[in-house]
Amino acid sequence: MLHIYLLDHNQLDLLDLTGPTLDAVSLQLPAGAYTTLRTFDRERIIGLSAHLQRLVDSHALAGRRRALDLPAIRSALRAVLAREGLATARLRLTTPFDGEQMYISVEPFEAYAPDCYTRGVRCETTRLHRDLPRAKLTDFIAPSRAVKAAGDPCVHELLLIDDPGRILEGISSNFSAVLDGRLRTAGEDVLQGVTRGLVLAEARGGLPIALDAIEIADLPRLSEAFITSSSRDVMPVIQIDQACIGSGEPGPITQALMTRYRARLVEASEQP
């Protein structure tokens, strides 16, 4: 069951607002910035501080600066998680441009099918773009949903490409690939994903990293590729458009990063 709470002047109320998905609910809320998180070990939240900072940064990038009452937000999150009593929860925090309120949407977290990790997923490219790539704003939800709904349902994620043909990120994920033994991921014009940051930290020291986007022309030469997000962790990509990635199976670097990321979740999660 998806529930939506309103935090306004330290008052937390359950709203009579429903929808089939977090995105569907978000489209009913005022325009603003948002971030999506999930819990670990019942009431710990992965990368909470980084997610809250990105909310602040997104408002600043949009020219709509807003201070967040972090103690009040953390208290509200503790109350929501206690009320919901979920073993694992998926949360979305939405901070409107106008007003000081915050919306907290919460639902049971449903992990992706094991095949997504053992066999990998297909992706396709799209020319859809973010007006402010480094800001996570609600105005991107409607167009990204429309493009995804119009595409092949067997395609797991759409990857945004720019005019020069560089693969920047997914519509709800960050994209990385291994080319000539080097881990490549776009450094500019992309959302600074919290999971992406944790994965890059795990990769440093054991693998050369280049913050440089892969080009479409590079696809036949990639040995591995994967996407990251709070809901997906590290998910292997085995096909992009018509190009098979590497051997067509999850590669050893991707699998190692999957394992190392999951082992770090205790350290990466915090109490609200």
Q: What is the pLDDT of residues 8-50, one digit of tens each?
A: 999 999 999 888 899 999 999 999 999 999 999 889 999 999 9
Instruction: Classify domain 115-267 by CATH number.
Output: 3.20.10.10
Instruction: Record the tokens describing residue 125, joined without a space.
Output: 């490219």
What are the residue ranges of CATH 3.20.10.10 in the chain?
115-267
Question: From edge to edge, which strands make up the β-sheet containing 32-40?
Answer: 11-14, 3-8, 102-108, 89-96, 32-40, 44-46, 269-270
Q: pLDDT of 161-182, one tens digit each?
A: 999 999 999 999 999 999 999 9
Q: pLDDT of 88-117, one tens digit each?
A: 999 999 999 998 999 999 999 999 999 999
As a whole number, the mean pLDDT across the chain is 95
Q: pLDDT of 119-129, one tens digit each?
A: 999 999 999 99
What are the residue ranges of CATH 3.30.470.10 in the chain?
3-108
Instruction: Classify domain 3-108 by CATH number.
Output: 3.30.470.10
Q: What is the pLDDT of residue 188?
A: 86
Q: Which pTM was predicted?
A: 0.95
